[in-house]
Amino acid sequence: MRLDEIKLPRRVAAHLVTSVCFFTFLVVLTTRFAARDEYYYSWEPIAQRQLPWHASIHFILYQYAWCLLLISMAWGTWVLSRPMVTVGRLITYVSVMGNLVVAWGLWTVWTIYYLNRIEFQKFLEDISGIID
């Protein structure tokens, strides 16, 4: 028996997709609020810091991932638009959302570390200029 042949009622699928969306929003909101004080709350902090050109690529990809998560949640709503939902589609949805959330968290942590390292290098250069 294939997974595309097994069908679940919409109510069961709704519980699964709702819990996945809730978990995804929880992860996304906590990372956004944690990163707010660092670099991602608005465009202003990036513009004020005069970071190298490649630092803006990290910020753009971060915002792209945010949009990708929203699109994926909309896709989950579309999955629920049928009276009977196949298990194969639900497994695909849960795995896609899980991978996006893991990638989102790792990218956030790595980018904040990366930008903080650049800031620290500038700080050390400024101090060495004052000392010399």
Q: What is the pLDDT of residues 7-33, one digit of tens each?
A: 777 777 777 777 777 777 777 676 666
3-class secondary structure, 52: coil
Query: Residue 36 and residue 128: Cα distance in Å, rounded?
Result: 30
Structural domain contains residue 97: yes
pTM over 0.85? The answer is no
Residue 112 burial (CB count, 10 A): 19
What are the tokens at 84?
A: 């009977």
Domain span including residue 63: 7-131
What are the tokens at 87?
A: 């298990």
Q: How many structural domains does the chain have?
A: 1
Structural domain contains residue 2: no
Strand (E) positions, the chain? 7-9, 84-86
Structural domain contains residue 1: no
> 116: which residues sit within 8 A by CB, 6+ positions away?
38
Closest of 109, 15, 117, 95 to residue 62, by C-alpha: 109
Predicted local confidence at residue 96, as pLDDT: 80
Query: Residue 95 and residue 57: Cα distance in Å, rounded?
Result: 26
Query: Residue 122 and residue 104: Cα distance in Å, rounded?
Result: 27
Residues forming beta bridges with residue 85, ordered by sequence position: 8
By mean pLDDT, which of 45-49, 81-85, 95-99, 123-127 is the weakest? 45-49
By mean pLDDT, which of 48-62, 72-86, 105-119 is the weakest? 48-62
Structural domain contains residue 42: yes
Q: What is the mean pLDDT of residues 55-72?
A: 74
